[in-house]
Amino acid sequence: MSLPEWLNGDDKDGDVPFSAAEILERCDILATHSSRVGAIERSYLTAEHARTNWTVGEWMAQAGLEPWQDAAGNQRGTLAGPRDDSPVLLLGSHLDTVPGAGRYDGILGTLMAIAVVGRLEAKGVRLPFGIEVLGFADEEGTRFGRTLLGSCAVAGAWQDSWWELRDAQGISLRTAFEAFGLDPARIEEAALPRERVLGYLEAHIEQGPLLEDADRALGVVTGIMGARRFDLTMVGEAGHAGGMPYGRRRDALLGASEVVTVIETLARDHGAIGTVGRMQAYPGAANVIPGRAEFSLDLRAETDELRDRVWDLIQEQAAKVAAARNLDFQAVERHDAEATVVGERLAEAIRAGIAATGDTAPLELLSKAGHDAMAIASLTDYAMLFIRCGGGISHHKDESVIEADVALALDAFEAAVLDLARTF
């Protein structure tokens, strides 16, 4: 298929189709599908999302996949198996980004999945199963607060209550669906029938420094930490920044700030991870005591029990902070994803894939970052291949990977698929 030149990149190096160089060039192209000039931001059900699906659909077709957009806005590509009812192996990652993102989180894994199919097709390999490549539409949850919307739809785990989630502009998820050209009444059509699915493999940058510290290009994931996210609010009373004496103030921002440090202390002491990534004071003027402070909490741990215990302790301490300052503390849960572990057979395939690249005892890593695999785990087993990223930096414009690592990762991912085919 001949594509417009811009869609193929400038091809200055005469990239081999489905090579690491081509994938990296395509990551650069998708980085331009952004709502902000000079920064990457691509959230769910936006014009950038639509452009990305179209572009990725063209690349899917080039690789021999039948491209289509599902009822949740995920970009999918199907490679038929030998029979109409052949089981399907799922490969993929996500195409949305956080604000101020890098160009590889999710994108690299999706493009690698497409490239693996393209490579197998080019070699004339006939697999005993079908493949579906998934470019998930909303892993980050940036727009509506609830993460993994795209993969939950595919897993058949969509919840009706989500239709009333609202973005920062007050637009409901239902309205955003309709504006994107999707029909909320058809959401169930995105779900895959459990009995058809063989498993799910995802390649992703590590988003941490462990591979780099160990001088390894690739690693095998053992499981993914569970996460909960909350909208937290401290309510006090606004007042004059000069006239109101300290003893009578009900400064909501001071209360919220104390809770932020409580979160860090409790999470660190108990081996969990708590992050406050957003805080806003109201009414927001230099000479007004903040009467309200709104802030977020992202809380993760290796087990759900530990994460939930730390949340109980945070709530207890926050209530004490609020009482001491005559404030009201409120918490609304926005997101909850269980900790999961990989499927052993699929992880074995990833290990075999990495071994085929020369590392016969790959580093095993627990993913502290969330992934679509967490949602897909309710549908089928999953396994993940991690790729070293520079300095462990992610969710930042300086996210980086080395082309040689991506080349190794491609070989390993392809070998993992072939390992599954051999014992199918």
**Nearest residue (CB) to Mn ion, 204 versus 250:** 204
106 near Mn ion, rule: CB under 5 A = yes
**Nearest residue (CB) to ligand GLV, 71 versus 224:** 224
Instruction: Give min distance, CB of 293 to ligand GLV, in A.
Output: 23
**Nearest residue (CB) to ligand GLV, 71 versus 369:** 369
Instruction: Count Cβ atoms below 10 Å from residue 374 Cβ, excluding itself.
Output: 25
The enclosing H or E element of 22 equals helix 20-30
Surface-to-core class of residue 87, CB atoms within 10 Å of its CB (0-12 exposed, 13-18 middle, 19+ buried):
middle
> For binding to ligand GLV (CB under 6 A), which residues are involved?
140, 369-370
206 near Mn ion, rule: CB under 5 A = no
CA distance 386 to 269: 28
Residues touching Mn ion: how many (CB under 5 A)?
2
Selection from 240, 279, 249 nearest residue 263 by Cα? 279
Residue 132 binds: one of Mn ion, ligand GLV, none (C-beta under 5 to 8 A by kind):
none
**Nearest residue (CB) to ligand GLV, 140 versus 399:** 140
Contact 325, 236 (CB under 8 A): yes
**Nearest residue (CB) to ligand GLV, 345 versus 368:** 368
- Which residue lies nearest Mn ion, judged by its C-beta? 106
**Range in contact with Mn ion (rule: CB under 5 A) among 28-36, 101-109, 216-224, 237-245:** 101-109
Please spell the DSSP secondary structure of 329-386, one letter per residue: EEEEEEEEE--EE--HHHHHHHHHHHHTTT-SSPEEEEE-S--HHHHHTTTS-EEEEE
Residue 370 binds: one of Mn ion, ligand GLV, none (C-beta under 5 to 8 A by kind):
ligand GLV
**Nearest residue (CB) to Mn ion, 51 versus 395:** 395
Which residue among 96, 105, 138, 206 contacts Mn ion (CB under 5 A)? 105
CA distance 395 to 408: 23
Contact 177, 45 (CB under 8 A): yes
138 near Mn ion, rule: CB under 5 A = no
CA dihedral of residues 240, 242, 247, 249 (deg, nearest 10): 20
Residue 362 binds: one of Mn ion, ligand GLV, none (C-beta under 5 to 8 A by kind):
none
**Nearest residue (CB) to ligand GLV, 266 versus 369:** 369
Instruction: Give min distance, CB of 147 to ligand GLV, in A.
Output: 6
Instruction: Give min distance, CB of 101 to ligand GLV, in A.
Output: 9
- Tokens 């609202």 locate to 166
Selection from 159, 182, 185 nearest residue 73 by Cα? 182
Contact residues: Mn ion, CB under 5 A: 105-106
